[in-house]
Structure 1
Amino acid sequence: MKMARPDTFRDGFDYLPARFHQYVDDPDVFIIMAESGDSLVGIALYMFHDDDEALLLKTGRQNPKYDGGGAFRRVSQSVPMVYKDFLLQRCKPTTLYQSVVEGHRTNLHKYLQNYGLWGKDKCKFDTMYFQSDVSAIQSSLASSNTTNLPPLTPYQPPDLHRLLPPAFSAAVLSEGRVFVDWEPYKLSESNMKKFVEAGCYILVDSTEPAAKSFSFGGSYMTPRGRVYHIDIHCKDEALCKAHIINQVKNACSQYRGMITFCIMVIDQALKETVVKYCVESLTLSHLPHDHTYTLYETDLTTVAKAVLGNKAKY
């Protein structure tokens, strides 16, 4: 797990050490390892979801020993074999191939091209990192004025009737996708049940007949300490603030010590609202690790053509 050293992936706020064994045991997850002799060059983690309607290239890691040593080329060489021997037999004709990456980074353009994802961007979202000690946060919460914020309640299965109407999806979601800790899903009864069983803390407003917002919260340990992710789906500033403060309260009721909050907003217009509210009202420290991510999505035919062409190069 030296691949998850603090100066690499996600600025050291890496979830993989905490979830590695969970992924190994999950029948919907495939971890592909690239080796050179007796050394591990890198790994790629693929995840089936939405009843096999989507295959997500969830993440990858490169052995620091091979930095600048052609590790990407070696992993690229294995792509046709990976699909042929491990993934394609599980895929349906309608299965979509997905990846969530920082598409603006020029060093990722080759990766996107090799997988047939270049030009297939579907939507973007922003993530921001804030940090503080729980005792300091509780002091800020005690003095925060929440009387003007809309009420939220923990999600219950009967709330689903207010989340599934097309009016909610069209007004709030991006491409009909729900993002939970970086992963895109269809909004469905089976997925919501899955999120609840996984221990997500889900909040929803009480608007009828269709809700106007919901959020997901959850925690994991990283090389730099505990991270609590808050994934906000809404387009209203007051609702956004309500989701933040209620998710922060939940985190502080469960944990002690330093917490880093990774706050994701689908509506990029809310980024400034999030930063101002977290810093000025909740007195959280804004860390210099903001990122904009893009969901890329394509069909398997495009992927097959790309990986076969990639194979020909080598």
Structure 2
Amino acid sequence: MGDGELTIREAKHDDYAAVIKMASTDTFRDGFDYLPAKFRQYVDDPDVFFSVIESKDDLVVIYIAMLTDDGEALLLKTGRQNPIYHGTGTSRRNRQVLPRTFKDVLLPRCKPTTLLQTVAEGHRVKVRKLILEYVGFWGNDECNFDVMYFQSDVSTILSRLPSNNTTPLPPLTPYQPPDLNRLLPPAFSAAVLPEGRLLVDWDPYKLSESNLKKFVTAGCHILVDSTEPAAKSLSVGQSFITPRGRVYHIDIHCKDETLCKTHIINHVKNACSQYEGMITFCVMVIDKRLKETVLKYCVENLTLSHLPHDHTYSLYETDLTVMAKAAAGIKAKL
């Protein structure tokens, strides 16, 4: 499929080296880019749409979207632009290709009822304009959540954990399928989850047995408290290598300060039991009131270094009709 000098196609494993050049410490998410670790998984996954826009032999832009919740939702996951094309006027040409991407690549695989979703960083004005306004998300934000970065060496963490864990904390256990009976009631799902969504690696999912099973199979460390008849907290931990080294995500869903601390310390211990060297902990909380709790506990109690990369993200949702109209509008303007 061509558009003048720009051509769009599906990504291949041979694109890995070119994509890595887009994932340096200067180009995306402060260098903590997950794409190098997940590139081959995305290429092979039939539910992931990994589109590459190229000019002659140069990779210019990539876009990634994925079907989630058994096809009930389409998540516009991410995009990257080759740094050498910054400021060259290619953004306008890329937007010319977007409507065709939506029409020919994404829409044929979706149901009429498919929900369209994306997560955007509030401080990235250019991304907000491109994704939210041009694609039809503007004004449809569902929730906000905070992400904080902390770092330390495993040996340093282990040497300090015993003296900083003297206060009794509520017990947590690895998720088991019967726990779903305590997670589905409104006392947990409606009260704790934003719009009933579970955020894993900042991506929204329905809280369901099939999704939790998928996360466990993927190696996620899922913890839940033992409160009856309904749980009060749930967290998901996972790790991967980025251009800045190992990152361990801790996605916390709760409203209780003590439970929040308990989830953090359990995931930190889990990370230290598996890995060596420097680890960056990326802690996500949905309840804004817990942000200060996380900062204080990680720095003062766990003596982790707080990195200057904190961000606030927003979850946006709309429907395919809006997206189709927005795509047609883009084409008409260009």
Q: TM-score range by the shorter chain?
A: over 0.9
* Unaligned ranges ≥5, structure 1: none
- How do 1:110-259 residues align onto structure 2 when only pairs under 5 Å count? 110-111=129-130, 112-259=132-279
Counterpart residue identity of residue 277, structure 1: Y
* Separation (CA, whole Å) in 1 of partners of 2:90 and 2:254: 40
1:301-312 aligned within 5 A: 301-312=321-332
The residue that corresponds to 1:93 in the other structure is 112
For residue 48 of structure 1, what is the aligned residue in structure 2? 67
User: Counterparts in 2 of 1:25-36, with a 5 A limit?
Assistant: 25-36=44-55
> Which residue identity lines up with residue 187 of structure 1 in the other structure?
L
- Alignment identity in percent? 74
Per the alignment, residue 121 of structure 2 pairs with: 102
1:104, distance to aligned residue in structure 2 (A)? 4.4
What is the TM-score of this pair, normalised by structure 2? 0.92
Pairwise CA distance, 1:142: 1.4
Per-residue CA deviations over 1:267-304 (Å, capped at 9, x if unaligned) read 11100000000000000000000000001110011111
1:13 aligns with 2:23: no
Provide the rounded CA distance (Å) in 1 between the counterparts of 2:65 and 2:28. 17
RMSD: 1.0
Segments ≥4 residues shifted beyond 4 Å = none
AA aligned opposite 1:88:
L
Partner residue of 2:309 out of 278, 289, 298 = 289
- The one-letter amino acid of 1:140's match is R
Q: Contact 1:15–1:221 at 8 Å: present in 2 too?
A: yes
Q: Distance in 1 between matches of 2:103 and 2:126?
A: 26
1:115-165: per-residue Cα shift (whole Å, max 9, x none)? 001101010100000000000001121111254311111111111100011
How many residues are aligned here?
314
- Alignment partner of 1:278 out of 265, 279, 298: 298
Q: 1:85 Cα shift? A: 1.5
C-alpha distance in structure 2 between counterparts of 1:70 and 1:96, whole Å:
32
Q: 2:83 aligns with which of 60, 64, 74?
A: 64
Between the aligned partners of 2:90 and 2:162, the Cα distance in structure 1 is 51
- AA matched with 1:265: V
- Spell out, residue by residue over 1:12-62, the C-alpha distance to the aligned partner (whole angstroms, 9 max, x if none): 011101110011010110111111222111100011100111111111111
